[in-house]
Amino acid sequence: MKYFIFMILSFHAMSETLSQRYEKDKYYYTALNEYFLETYDKHKSKEDLERLERLLYFTGIELLEDYETKLLEQYTTSSTSFILGRRFAQSKQYKKALSYFEKVHEEHRYFPETQLSKSKIYGDQAESLKESEALERCKASSVKQENQIESVKIKRYYRMIFEICQVSIARELYKKGNFRESINAYDKITKNSYKWPYIILEKAWAYYQLGDYNRTLGLLLTYKSPLLESYFFPEAEYLAALSYFRLCLFEDSLIIAKQYDQFYRPRFTELYKVLDKNRASQNYFYGLMFNSTDESKNNDPFVKQMISRLKKQIRYSLDFNTVFKIDQEIKKILEIQDKAERYHLLKHLISVKENMINKINYNTKTDIFNFLESVPFFSSELFKVNLEIISRKRDLVYEKHDLTSNRSRGDYSNVKRSRFEQFWTFEGAFWADELGDYSLGLKSNCELKEVEGSREGQ
Amino acid sequence: MRFFLSLWLLTTSFYALSEDKNVIYQYKKYEKFDLGNLEVKGELIAPGDISVRERGRRRFELDLFSRKNFDNFQKRDVDSIR
């Protein structure tokens, strides 16, 4: 009898594939690799596909970003369909992308993200109705997934997806010129959200389009609070200068342009130096993110602030998490007694980790570079505002006119507010609950008055 | 005969070319104008009112950047997830 049981057990062990064994031992990344080696040229049963989904649940899909399209196309799971859909969307093959997104199951964990990606495609194709529908589905499914999950981190992920979809709705309304509705949609994002500091600028634009320049300036003032120190946007400076210009407060506009020149230019130079010196490096920016290099410790606070802002992106959390889990698996593999097996497994995992580090490095570099691109653009736009101010001032001189302002400008009567908003005067301190609700009370200076004595002089 | 004719043509053209190069133009080195003796025929009129017709100055306004959409922000958000 004992012999019989032993026979059954050893038969079962023999029938177990290598990937199954690794999976059982919780070497998920190693198991995933073995899984593809075992199945790529075979018929994939339902169990095989279910097992892939299970493995991807533990590893995440970040690793598959580098896998060949032809290989992934053989595996018809929601996860692989999502990856392929994103890949085709990035190369603007929208029809193919949408067909893959359709294959993502409604209950699947990537369904909310799929809807967000679909909305982006419909937005690019100017299919407004389909875009709105996808965004609504994105929101509903995010809330559903958020409620089902126990893990705080994953809950936060779904909250972020929800907020990005909500902001997308606000942006769509802005694009259509429905600025008031757009502001209402932005207001649905709470102040403790990761997205909130970013939407201040967008809301400020919406108020600008409504002609409420005082509210625009008030919103942009929020960026001056110590809490939002790491959020600096050249566009916010430009919009403030533009709003002062629309209020014909030319001197204030010129001050902003001057400050911009003094504040951003040296920091721009500093960042450029960092980028240029390490342009070809495969891991410098990764080190910068972890503050692990000696050089990064000496960096300008501006660079540090920017890095801390980038770290708050979902992408970095997911990628760092993957690197962390790979490290854990490497530690476990180091405990394997068989030297040959240990060497074989480590070799694979180290190359996987290297790929992930390269990816983080590349994304950081790209983000910094994209930011740098916006600096010269808004510098030139500010310069145009300057020119326009000079031109207006010259016209005033020619026409023997002056602007009305006597510089005692702030007044409550100039503040536009809804019946739900309270009014408190600013006492020089930024209170957290007040952030984002500021409004200046400036009187428009655009009314003309004749220069005294101009008639007599003629 | 042909030979002589071509030789003659060659020499004359050579001379013509060399003459072109050596042309020296000479201007008068000194000329005197007696302005007191110059006579100008016409009437002397005292200047009256000078009137300039006013015209509206044409204003050119620079095309200042104003956001039409947040498409690039949307792309950044979608890309920042993965």
B48-72 average pLDDT score: 80
Name the minimum distance, in Å, from the CA of A388 to any CA of chain B: 7
Q: Is the pLDDT of residue B36 over 90?
A: no
A242 and B64 within 8 Å at the Cβ level: the answer is yes
- Name, of A15-19, A43-47, A172-176, A334-338, the range with top average pLDDT: A172-176
- Least confident range of A33-37, A44-48, A321-325, B43-47: B43-47
For chain A, give every domain's residue range. Answer: 230-401
Q: Is the pLDDT of residue A175 over 90?
A: yes
Name the minimum distance, in Å, from the CA of B74 to any CA of chain A: 7
Give the pLDDT confidence of A80-106 residue by residue, as tens digits.
Answer: 999 999 999 999 999 999 999 999 999
Q: Is the pLDDT of residue A146 over 70?
A: yes
- Least confident range of A59-63, A271-275, B31-35: A271-275
Give the percent of chain B with pLDDT over 70: 70
Q: Is the pLDDT of residue A127 over 70?
A: yes
Name the minimum distance, in Å, from the CA of A442 to any CA of chain B: 21
Give the pLDDT confidence of B49-60 residue by residue, as tens digits.
Answer: 667 776 766 777
Residues of A in contact with B77 (CB under 8 A): 164, 167-168
- Name, of A133-147, A341-355, A422-436, the range with top average pLDDT: A133-147
- A410 beta partners: A442
| Predicted pLDDT of residue A262 | 82
d(CA A267, CA A138): 39
Residue type, A121: I
Give the percent of chain A with pLDDT over 70: 85
State the ipTM, two decimals. 0.82
Res. A125 pLDDT band, cuts 50 70 90: very high
Give the pLDDT confidence of A237-275 residue by residue, as tens digits.
Answer: 999 999 999 999 898 899 999 888 887 777 777 777 777
| Predicted pLDDT of residue A275 | 77
A148-160 average pLDDT score: 90
| Predicted pLDDT of residue A128 | 92
B82 and A161 within 8 Å at the Cβ level: the answer is no
d(CA B25, CA A186): 85
| Predicted pLDDT of residue A293 | 52
Residue A243: CB atoms within 10 A of its CB come to: 27
Pair A142, A161: CB distance under 8 Å:
yes
Q: Is the pLDDT of residue A31 over 60?
A: yes
Interface test with A, best of B54, B57, B58, B67 (most A CBs within 10 A): B67
Helix (H, G, I), strand (E, B) or coil at A431: coil
Q: Is the pLDDT of residue A437 over 70?
A: yes
User: Which H or E run includes A402?
Assistant: strand A401-403
Residues of A in contact with B56 (CB under 8 A): none
Q: Which residue of A has its CA nearest to B63?
A: A384
Q: Which residues contact A348 (CB under 8 A, 6 or more apart)?
A: A30, A33
d(CA A301, CA A431): 24
Res. A167 pLDDT band, cuts 50 70 90: very high
Q: Which residue of A has its CA nearest to B56?
A: A399
A314 and B70 within 8 Å at the Cβ level: the answer is no
| Predicted pLDDT of residue A35 | 94
| Predicted pLDDT of residue A328 | 92
Residue A357: CB atoms within 10 A of its CB come to: 18
Half-sphere exposure of A230 (CA within 13 A, CB side): 12
CA–chain centroid gap for A176, Å, is 23
| Predicted pLDDT of residue A457 | 38
Name the percent of chain A in helix, strand, coil, to the closest 5: 70, 0, 30
**For tokens 């505002």, what's the residue?**
A385
